Amino acid sequence: MRYLLTAFILSVFLIPAEAQSFAYGVKGGLTIGTQKWDNSLSRDPLFRYHGIAFIESAPEDNATGIFAQIGYHVKGSAIRTFATTVQTSQGLRDVPGRRTAFEFNNLSLCFGGKKKYDWNNSSAYYMLGIRADYTIGTNLDEYVEINEFYPIYPFEGGVRNFNYGVTVGGGLEFPLSEYVSGILEFSVNPDFSKQYEQPQLTNVPAPNLGGQTRTIPERKIINNTFELSLGIRFLRLVEYID
């Protein structure tokens, strides 16, 4: 994690030195997390949040610029069951709905390029960046007791802390004042690496089977998120006067 922070701090100094005029700000909002489990997309989306700090060059005439951003993102997926009524030996029984969430709290660092276009009194843009993530925590400890009896959920030992992927997105910058703009942005953030990787485990004790053992199949999980952000951007303009 310290390498991600160090890289972002270096970019805070290098981008202004290279670009002269630059902009910085913060943005955040809704994260819709999806995961591919064992090559299957059967899990439900996880609705969480993110927050990002960024710095970027501010070239003239909307030329392609560079950016760096670091953020906190809650990624993952969920399993949802709906309320239903079942027949039992004692009669009808109401079974409430339930949501089981799998959360991975990631610190993400992204470097890339950004291209702008004039649009009315605002600027539309698209961006593409490469991204590195570090997982600083999960909620998988909530399922330890369940896994002891029937190991169907991921557990901490299979979490891979370092991951990588890309960020692709676009948005709109709208002026609030001469040097301050608002941001509305949408991005897609697929990982190329595995957030979770667990090999097949054999001879695992099964307390609910009277001391027998079981085999836990291999499991792999890959993240993707869709993010909608609102933010504010501050411009530091450098002008040269002869």
Mean pLDDT, rounded, for 59-76: 90
Contact 168, 188 (CB under 8 A): yes
Query: Thinking of the domain 2-236, which architecture would CATH place it in?
Result: Beta Barrel (2.40)
pLDDT of residue 89 exceeding 80: no
Tell me the pLDDT of the chain averaged across its residues: 85
- pLDDT for res 240: 53
Which secondary structure element, helix H or strand E, spans residue 197, and what is its range? strand 196-198
Q: Which residue has the higher pLDDT, 166 or 213?
A: 166
Q: How far apart are CA 166 and CA 155, in angstroms?
A: 26
Q: Which residue has the higher pLDDT, 98 or 123?
A: 123
For the chain, the farthest-separated pair of C-alpha atoms sits apart, in whole angstroms, at 92
pLDDT of residue 209 exceeding 90: no
- pLDDT for res 217: 80
Contact 23, 16 (CB under 8 A): no
Q: Half-sphere exposure (CA, 13 Å, Cβ side) for 5?
A: 4
| Cα dihedral 46, 70, 23, 126 in deg (nearest 10) | -50
Mean pLDDT, rounded, for 223-237: 95
Percentage, residues of the chain above pLDDT 90: 56
Q: How far apart are CA 194 and CA 163, in angstroms?
A: 7
Instruction: Give residue for tokens 């090559």.
Output: 39
Q: Which of 170-174, 195-199, 204-208 has the lowest mean pLDDT?
A: 204-208
pLDDT band at 229 (very low <50, low <70, confident <90, very high): very high
- pLDDT for res 60: 79
Contact 196, 223 (CB under 8 A): no
Give residue-wise pLDDT tens across range 117-161.
Answer: 998 889 999 999 999 999 999 999 999 888 877 778 898 989 999
pLDDT band at 40 (very low <50, low <70, confident <90, very high): confident
CB-count exposure of residue 168 (10 Å: 0-12, 13-18, 19+): middle
Instruction: Give residue for tokens 């006067």.
Output: 241
The model's pTM is: 0.83
Q: Which residue has the higher pLDDT, 160 or 38?
A: 160
- pLDDT for res 63: 76
Contact 73, 110 (CB under 8 A): no
- pLDDT for res 222: 96
CB-count exposure of residue 59 (10 Å: 0-12, 13-18, 19+): middle
Q: Where are the domains of the chain?
A: 2-236
